[in-house]
Chain A
Amino acid sequence: MQIYLPIADMPVNIFVILGMGLAVGFLSGMFGIGGGFLLTPLLIFIGVAPVVAVATVSSHIVASSLSGVFAYWRRKALDPALAGVLLAGGMLGTFAGVWLIALLRVVGQLDLTISLAYVTLLSVVGGLMTVESARAIFRARAGKNPEVRRPGSHAWFHGLPLKLRFKHSRIYVSVVPVWTIGFFIGFLGAVMGIGGGFLLVPALIYLLRVPTNVVIGTSMVVTLVTMVSATVMHAATNLSVDAVLALILMVGGVMGAQFGAQAGQRVRAEQLRLLLGLLIMMVGLRFAIGLVVQPDDMFSLQPLEALP
């Protein structure tokens, strides 16, 4: 069944979009991620303009992260204070990202920037994740204690001023690194159409040493709020949010996430991380190939955008 998308200005098969939403929803439920880094490339692949894909996926992530936030809120497994400081940075980052997209559209290098950002980020994060989880699996096989946390260790940023005690997370750190992490997550989220959960979770665990039980809930709150603001800003600045496309994706995503979450509970945590790491690396690799291999067509057309 074909349906015409009013902002993307193209007809699509509604079942293809629904299927994409389901598939990405399944993976996001399984791994506890927003799935933006999978959905944005998929949309670009079926012919949606990158700027529309990035903006529309942000509204999709709102829907998929909200149900998660409710679940963690009921279990009190999130840190409102930490989320608040992260968001203060996240908002500014989102604003900067939306502005950068508007600028790159004019210069004609938006597609390249999105591809480069995906290659760099996904191969680094995917690679680290794969190595780390593979090590954890081997350690578990060898029968050693999988605990790697060193509670006493201090990084350089623990010496920064403006220290704040985050009660739920039981950490006492300067707001500067927290704020900076928030800024980058918001910035990358707006530029790449990703929620940033797969970046924020490791950053909170490994950099700020936040206990794992509050990390996912806190990350989901941050994702939710930055993506709500990204949706509004993209709509106001780039006029590129396709509500019809977003709605079809959301319906598929919300359903798929439920099945994914059930499937995820049957797999061990480090194996899940290994799978996710490999998946992230594969998406990064796909973008890398696209950049390096000689394109079939040297030419491309870009309509002049009437920027407000």
Chain B
Amino acid sequence: MMRIGRLALFAVALAPALMAGPALAERLIISLSQHRVLINSTFTGVDLTLFGAIEADASAVGRAGNYALVVTAAGPHRTVTTWRKKRVFGIWVNAESRTFVEPPSYLAVLTNRPIAAIADASVLRRRQVGLQQVVLPQNLEGDIADANDPFRQAFVRLKTEQGLYREQTNAVTFLTPTLFRTSIPLPANAPVGSYEVTVQLFSGGSMIADEGTAFEIIKTGFEQFVAVAARQHGLLYGVATAMLSLLTGWLGSIIFRRD
């Protein structure tokens, strides 16, 4: 009885906010299968599963089954320069460049319907839905590459070819009208670092709820040992590698000695 009473009180307190509009009618609850992905010597990529439920109250009844979901997973932010080759004296050299300041090195946009069908262009742009809409700041101060910029297009295309950027419009499946699932594909070359996952719920062309979570990719075991050693104790690591090489060469000359 106490519990119901408290809930009722809670509902009363919330009522004015709920009545302000349908924006609070839905709530997203999401859960990732893993919050930590370990890279070991046999790492060849992994699919993370994301489960979610749309908790809707009475005011949202009419919308059930008409939801559009956008799951955006963005990886560690690292600055990248895009080069364009030009012919100089008969050979092709990197001539022009554009530096993108800390764009996500991994970006997956997973939806349950075509991006254009989710909302109109201005909403998509404001909410940064889809690879075309994600903001990529450039080195030119305060400048943002628009979707038609050739360097930006090349950047997104090359990242897509590397398997690091992707946009899948049929990747979110509804198990029931309110329960959904998607898998975030992490290729073997997914960079180490922390990743944010944002889930946005759209209905009738506007965003009505969003929720975030995170996971990280870390190296483990021998891979981590080598990578940390190389980065933090470069000189020592170099000496150790040279010793290893000398040892291998020496062993080789003993095993295969012919004179």
Q: Which of A67-75, A145-153, A188-196, A271-279 contacts B (4 or more CB under 8 A)?
A: A67-75
Partner of A4, one of B42, B83, B157: B42
Q: Do B259 and A108 touch (CB < 8 A)?
A: no
Does A85 interact with chain B (Cβ within 8 Å)? no
Q: Do B259 and A74 touch (CB < 8 A)?
A: yes
Q: Do A241 and B237 touch (CB < 8 A)?
A: yes
Does B253 interact with chain A (Cβ within 8 Å)? yes
Task: Note all chain A residues with C-beta closer than 8 A to B34.
Answer: none
Does B195 interact with chain A (Cβ within 8 Å)? no
Task: Note all chain A residues with C-beta closer than 8 A to B94.
Answer: 108-109, 111-112, 300
Q: Do A10 and B188 touch (CB < 8 A)?
A: yes
Q: Which of B20-28, B122-130, B204-212, B223-231 contacts A (4 or more CB under 8 A)?
A: B223-231
Q: Which of B2-10, B66-74, B85-93, B107-115 contacts A (4 or more CB under 8 A)?
A: B85-93
Given contacts A63-B248, A258-B256, contact A299 B91 (CB under 8 A): no
Q: Looking at chain B, what size class is its interface with the partner chain?
A: 35 or more
A247 to B139 alpha-carbon distance, docked (Å): 40
Partner of A243, one of B41, B87, B234, B241: B241
A272 to B99 alpha-carbon distance, docked (Å): 49
- Per DSSP, are chain A's interface residues mostly helix, strand or loop, or mixed? helix
Q: Do B85 and A247 touch (CB < 8 A)?
A: no
Within 8 A of A (CB), among B179-212: 188-189, 191-192
Does A7 interact with chain B (Cβ within 8 Å)? yes
Does B14 interact with chain A (Cβ within 8 Å)? no
Q: Do A63 and B191 touch (CB < 8 A)?
A: no
Does B62 interact with chain A (Cβ within 8 Å)? no
Q: Do A62 and B242 touch (CB < 8 A)?
A: yes
Give chain B nearest CB distance to A123 CB in angstroms.
Answer: 14
Task: Note all chain A residues with C-beta closer than 8 A to B252.
Answer: 63, 66-67, 250, 254-255, 257-258
Q: Which chain B residue lies CB-closest to A10?
A: B189
Q: Which chain A residue lies CB-closest to B251?
A: A254
Q: Do B83 and A251 touch (CB < 8 A)?
A: no
A299 to B238 alpha-carbon distance, docked (Å): 34
A117 to B28 alpha-carbon distance, docked (Å): 58
Q: Do A108 and B249 touch (CB < 8 A)?
A: no
Q: Do B82 and A6 touch (CB < 8 A)?
A: no
Given contacts A6-B223, A233-B238, A239-B230, contact A292 B42 (CB under 8 A): no
Within 8 A of A (CB), among B137-180: 151, 154-155, 157-159
Most buried by B among A6, A60, A66, A292: A6
Given contacts A3-B41, A67-B249, contact A243 B81 (CB under 8 A): no
Q: Do A304 and B230 touch (CB < 8 A)?
A: no
Q: Do B256 and A67 touch (CB < 8 A)?
A: yes
Task: Note all chain A residues with C-beta closer than 8 A to B250.
Answer: 66-67, 70
Chain A residues with CB under 8 Å of chain B are 2-4, 6-7, 9-11, 59-60, 62-67, 70-71, 74-75, 108-109, 111-112, 116, 228, 231-237, 239, 241, 243-244, 246-247, 250-251, 254-255, 257-258, 261, 291-292, 294-295, 297-304, 308
16 residue pairs bridging A and B, Cβ less than 8 Å apart: A2-B42, A59-B242, A62-B242, A67-B252, A75-B259, A108-B94, A109-B93, A232-B235, A235-B230, A239-B231, A250-B252, A254-B252, A258-B252, A292-B92, A303-B79, A303-B81
